Amino acid sequence: MVLKDLDSIMRRFYNLYQGVNMTIQLSVRGMHCGKCVDKVEKFVGEIEGVSLIDVDLQKAQVKVEFSPPATQEMITEAILDAGFDVNANNS
């Protein structure tokens, strides 16, 4: 009985959480040209739940809007996989 209640609570929480859109802005080092921008957009854009990617080459920042199942950790990992460094002091 307790497991059934817990399962019901978890489903409700997940359904509420799914509707939440989040925005992060990351400082990214190593981007120098339009191809770098394209690469970041490609890698981050492959993550399910990402709805917007705005790469500012001059400010070396990437703004991402997303909802579950995407997470900040997945986005950071995608940027690292693309060959760029992400500043640890991101907001």
Instruction: State percent of the chain over pLDDT 70.
Output: 75
Q: How far apart are CA 24 and CA 77, in angstroms?
A: 14
- Estimate the crossing angle of helix 72-81 against helix 34-45, to 10 degrees: 140
Asked if omega into 69 is within 30° of 0 (cis), the reply is yes
Does residue 55 or residue 2 have the better pLDDT? 55
Does residue 17 or residue 51 have the better pLDDT? 51
Q: Average per-residue pLDDT in the chain?
A: 87
Q: For the sheet containing 61-66, what is the strand order?
A: 50-56, 61-66, 22-29, 85-86
pLDDT of residue 57: 96
- Candidates 87, 84, 80; CA nearest to 32 is 84
3-state DSSP assignment of residue 8: helix
Q: What is the pLDDT of residues 24-54, one digit of tens each?
A: 999 999 999 999 999 999 999 999 999 999 9
Tell me the average pLDDT across 10-16.
61
pLDDT of residue 15: 55
